[in-house]
Structure 1
Amino acid sequence: MMVQDRGRRRVAQIIAHAVAIPVAALFLYPYWWMLISAFRRTTDVMSDPLRLLPERFDPAVFAAIGRVGGVDLWVYIANSFVITIASTVISVAVTALGAYALVRKPKLPGFRFLRFGFLVTIMYPYMLLVIPVYIVMFKLGLLGTYAGIILFLALGPIQFFLFDQFFRAIPKDIIEAALIDGATELQVLRKIVVPLARPVVVTVAMITFLLNWAQWFPVLVISRLPDTYTLPVALLSMNTELGANFQGIMALAVLTTLPPAALFLLAQKRVMEGMASGGVKG
């Protein structure tokens, strides 16, 4: 009987892999097409778009995109990492502390409305926030600055929702027992809540990094000079009224997608686990 069950599980695994491998190949094909297109001329792509291998491997195109829009490529790369990391740190810290405060003291004046406002903003895309945020940045003198871009990208309603759901799932008895023993709110947060929330913090940080890395519209709106552009904006700027450098666009797209793709491949298991734990209702 055990041998039969083991055989059935083996057959089920083979069938699952037989289905999963073609599906995975189907999803990976666009990235592979982008990669090989970086080594192919536009005329070759148009004449044979479904070719799986380039006619020749010539990395010269990557040297040709060393400057985009009059700015060195390394500036865009540095801007992407600095802006994404800084906005991720601020977003995670602010939304985590805010969600914890709203869960612990939900009856304080304005807290219920503040939580409702955070959740409502999940339904609104960045496009609808551009005009009010632009006016605020103008009033604060942050247009064209790294600080303005970072603060805009630090808006995190989805991150707030994940933290809010996780903190609500923490048993109140644990926190109340610590308070009875004489612990302060800060000690409870530092010694109890933060260790428990570490998987969700890591998950939210990774999700925020992936989201902010791909943002181009807020950066384009707030920036005044190409010196503050990120890689996605540089990629967009390669399409001009004089035409598009197709091979250069594909090469820059490969460089733009490598960091988030590598990060997700390394951390996908933790991201999925954190999403599951953050979505549990208390």
Structure 2
Amino acid sequence: MKPEYPDHPAPADAAQRRAVAPVICYPVDALPRPDLAACRAVRAGWSRVAQVTVPPREARCFDVPAGHFFRITSVEGPQVGDLNLWSADLSERFYSGKSRALHGTHLGAGDRMWSGFPTLRPMATITEDTLDWYGFDEYGGGVHDVIGTRCDPYTHNLLSDGGQYHHCCHSNLTRALAERLNIPPAEAEQHVHDVLNVFMCTGFTRDTGQYFMKASPVRPGDYLEFFAEIDLLGALSACPGGDCGSEHSSDEAACHPLLVEVFRPKAPPAGWASPRPNGYDRSHGAEA
């Protein structure tokens, strides 16, 4: 636990130091803005080519070719989902930390899910979010965060005095990927990574800075839609916390399925091309 009071007295100029204005670490003005209008325009006449229902407290994998769309939809009741994305060949994975640094703690329409180093390129662009009305509430909570990691059996074991729970999102994603690739769970687990917490309502407490969750505002019919910038393999877990209004890693919460649909437009968005890997030369300053 953090101490209730600081151990050290504030300096005489403490107020002045606290009043220093913040500076955005990674201004994104130089990044090309996604053309959401062009993306949305090609949805007319698109065809659904695949759909996957993710059962409560389980995960499922799905494939999305570059230039296709996918939607995650709440179909029965308030339910949070944990989303992993990889390139189709598993050589790239979603980098939640850099996506957070570029776009903020919670993602929405126009934001992108970026891959890790050395490619660091857009994997998917969020094209529509029916929960965009929520914004940030009085507690600082918002939806679709990239600050939580995913509920996992290891943290559960630490905090429950040795408890063994196998339907945490980390384990769900591990089982789903193991089945999809026909590999042992221990091997699949090495590929499971930090997630986009779809529909989850989260933030940080202002007094202690702790990560909090509250009941998701998602309703049946709400969805988060993505445009695949590269060939993708996805995995989605229907979190055992349900709407995450009370607890996660539990069989007590009311849980519901989630629907993943993949759509093929008749033509790609005007001007779109799949992004190239990052242009850094990877020399890292070493002499040739």
* TM-score of the pair, normalised by structure 2: 0.20
Task: Report 1 or 2 for greater relative contact order, CA contacts < 8 Å, sequence distance ≥ 6.
Answer: 2
* TM-score between both structures, scaled by the size of structure 1: 0.21
Structure that is richer in strand per residue: 2
Which is richer in helix? 1
Compare CA radii of gyration and give the structure with the larger one: 1
